[in-house]
Amino acid sequence: MKKLLMISTGGTIASTLTEDGLAPGIKPEDMLNYLNGVENICKIETHELLNIDSTNIQPEHWIEITGFIKRVYNDYDAFIITHGTDTMAYTSAALSYMIQNPDKPIILTGSQKPINMDTTDARKNLKDSIAYALSEDVAGIYVVFDGKAIIGTRARKTKTKSFDAFESINYPIAAFIDGKRIAKYVRNEKKGPVEFYENIYPNIFLLKLAPGMQPDVLDYIGDKYEGVVIESYGVGGLPFEDRRNFQEKLESLTAKGRIVVIASQVMREGSDMSIYEVGFKTMKNYNVLESLDMTIESAIVKLMWIMGQTKEFKEVKELFYKKINEDIIY
């Protein structure tokens, strides 16, 4: 029988109603009591690592989760991490960079309603996660939610309340899970030896452009942060019109050694800075990167992971465009 470890971190799935609203409080062993018959299909142990709303998740928690999995990696066949949905896509991206080439499933799941409510998605999501973890030939970091397994670098929360809260962005859904029936659409290539990374540089700024914004915001950002992801418009580009010239600000930012990534506010299909003058000029004149088909979550966290190792533009660039856990295909 396979041996699973369920690691709980909090989130709605583990929440109860307090006088200040929903807050995590249910122990992982009590969550298991809602899954009738699970003991007949696997051995499952639990560990409470954190007990927080995922709004409170910080990069330091990703280091904690990674370090914990590293310590117990050889003792289990699969890991299920229960986590709040709000920042689950950041954590699934982070674990994708911090635990590379795992030969076992590491699955994040959670719910939109607490497990102890009459109407809840928590029990299904947990059961689906267990079924997917036990199925043959599954390895890697995934989000399992509402009957779908999504590659860890491709997940995004797209609904605040509905049960179908996650989508796979710019990549097919890895598998559909319906009870014991699992339809896998993405094959798992054989994984190499697992590698753990426990360094993260957390100070990345995400700037969302809007017409009217003053470019001197980049002076402030450049003083405080060594990396910035700019969510620009459409396929990507920065304003260079005289009144508010963002492009010329890149001169001083990159001269200071700051790493700049241009991404898009549009969720699907990614950037292509070569198409329009606003993008082409940015890439031609400055040492900046573009996020291509990566999700915003992955682009930010990938930069944190890279800058935990190096801040040299050439090395950052090479790692940024390297495919890790299917995060980039262009």
Ligand X SMILES: NC(=O)C[C@H](N)C(=O)O
158 binds ligand X (CB under 6 A): no
How far is the CA of 255 from the CAs of 84, 211, 241, 249, 311, in angstroms? 39, 26, 22, 10, 13
b/e map of 204-229 (b: 16 or more CB within 10 Å)? bbbbebeeeeebeebeebbeebbbbb
Q: Which is nearer to ligand X, 16 or 55 (CB)?
A: 55
In angstroms, how far is CA 277 from the centroid of its own chain? Answer: 31
Q: What is the DSSP letter of 204?
A: E
86 binds ligand X (CB under 6 A): yes
Specify the stretch interacting with ligand X by CB under 6 A; choose among 78-86, 206-214, 221-229, 286-294.
Answer: 78-86
φ/ψ of 92, rounded to 5, equals -70, -35
How far is the CA of 97 from the CAs of 77, 157, 278, in angstroms? 20, 19, 31
Q: Which two tokens stand for residue 176?
A: 């559909």
Q: From the CB of 175, what's the least distance to ligand X, in Å?
A: 22
12 binds ligand X (CB under 6 A): yes
CA–CA separation, 129 vs 146, rounded Å? 10
8 Å CB contact between 299 and 305:
no
CA–CA separation, 234 vs 284, rounded Å? 18
CA–CA separation, 54 vs 168, rounded Å? 20
Q: Which is nearer to ligand X, 82 or 153 (CB)?
A: 82
Q: From the CB of 28, what's the least distance to ligand X, in Å?
A: 15
CA–CA separation, 120 vs 132, rounded Å? 20
CA–CA separation, 275 vs 190, rounded Å? 37
9 binds ligand X (CB under 6 A): no
Of residues 45 through 64, those in contact with ligand X by CB under 6 A are: 53-55
> Is residue 158 part of an annotated ligand binding site?
no
Residue from 11, 59, 105, 279 that binds ligand X (CB under 6 A)? 11
Q: Which is nearer to ligand X, 9 or 170 (CB)?
A: 9
DSSP 3-state of 84: coil
Residue from 66, 100, 109, 112 that binds ligand X (CB under 6 A)? 112
The site that binds ligand X (CB under 6 A) totals a number of residues, namely 10
215 binds ligand X (CB under 6 A): no
Q: From the CB of 126, what's the least distance to ligand X, in Å?
A: 13
Q: Which is nearer to ligand X, 91 or 264 (CB)?
A: 91
Of all residues in this chain, which one has the CB nearest to ligand X in the complex?
A: 84
Q: Which is nearer to ligand X, 88 or 228 (CB)?
A: 88
Q: Which is nearer to ligand X, 108 or 228 (CB)?
A: 108
> Is residue 85 part of an annotated ligand binding site?
yes
Q: From the CB of 232, what's the least distance to ligand X, in Å?
A: 28
Provide the greatest CA pair distance for the chain. Answer: 69
Q: From the CB of 281, what's the least distance to ligand X, in Å?
A: 40
Residue type, 60: E
DSSP 3-state of 210: coil
12 in active site: yes
Catalytic residue among 9, 66, 85, 87: 85
Q: From the CB of 22, what's the least distance to ligand X, in Å?
A: 7
Residue from 85, 96, 109, 116 that binds ligand X (CB under 6 A)? 85
85 in active site: yes
8 Å CB contact between 130 and 41:
yes
297 binds ligand X (CB under 6 A): no
Residues serving a catalytic function are 12, 85
Binding-site positions for substrate read 54, 85-86
Residues binding ligand X (CB under 6 A): 11-12, 53-55, 84-86, 110, 112
